[in-house]
């Protein structure tokens, strides 16, 4: 099982069974607007890192963006596998 798949499962678990102190559970409680705001912030941070910071920093910020994207997908009832399927279809 890939790390991405494991992360998606953990996010789903936090949504179904929120635990105190969980950042993911807090995002779900705040709702879609907050998740979208975080996605926007992370996208900007990726761009800033790409324009003048180390590769390690770019990877760090991209990981944050992917995490918040997975939270958003879960909130919408979508799965990462659907994104993968779309990408696979584009390769045809």
**CATH label of the domain that carries residue 76:** 1.10.287.1080
The backbone region for 77, taken as left when phi is positive above 0, alpha when psi lies in -120 to 50, beta otherwise, is: left
User: pLDDT tens digits, residue range 28-39?
Assistant: 999 999 999 999
pLDDT < 70: residue spans in the chain: none
Alpha helices in 1-92 (DSSP H): 3-16, 23-30, 32-50, 55-75, 80-90
Q: What is the pLDDT of residue 1?
A: 74
What's the pLDDT at 92?
Answer: 82
| Structure confidence at residue 83 (pLDDT) | 95
On average, the pLDDT of the chain sits at 96
> Distance (Å, rounded) from C-alpha 6 to C-alpha 36?
22
Q: What is the pLDDT of residue 11?
A: 97
Distance CA 45, CA 65 (A): 9
Check: pTM over 0.85? Answer yes or no: yes
The rounded Cα 36 to chain-centroid distance in angstroms is 10
- Count of structural domains within the chain: 1
- Residues 6 or more apart whose CB falls under 8 angstroms from that of 66 comprise 4
Range of the domain at 20: 3-90
């Amino acid at each position: 099982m890939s790390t991405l798949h494991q992360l998606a499962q953990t996010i789903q678990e936090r949504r179904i069974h929120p635990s105190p102190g969980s950042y993911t559970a807090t995002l779900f409680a705040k709702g879609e607007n907050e998740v979208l705001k975080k996605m926007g912030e992370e996208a900007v941070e990726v761009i800033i890192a790409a324009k003048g910071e180390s590769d390690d920093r770019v990877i760090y910020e991209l990981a944050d963006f992917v995490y918040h994207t997975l939270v958003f997908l879960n909130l919408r009832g979508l799965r990462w596998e659907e994104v993968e399927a779309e990408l696979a279809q584009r390769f045809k």
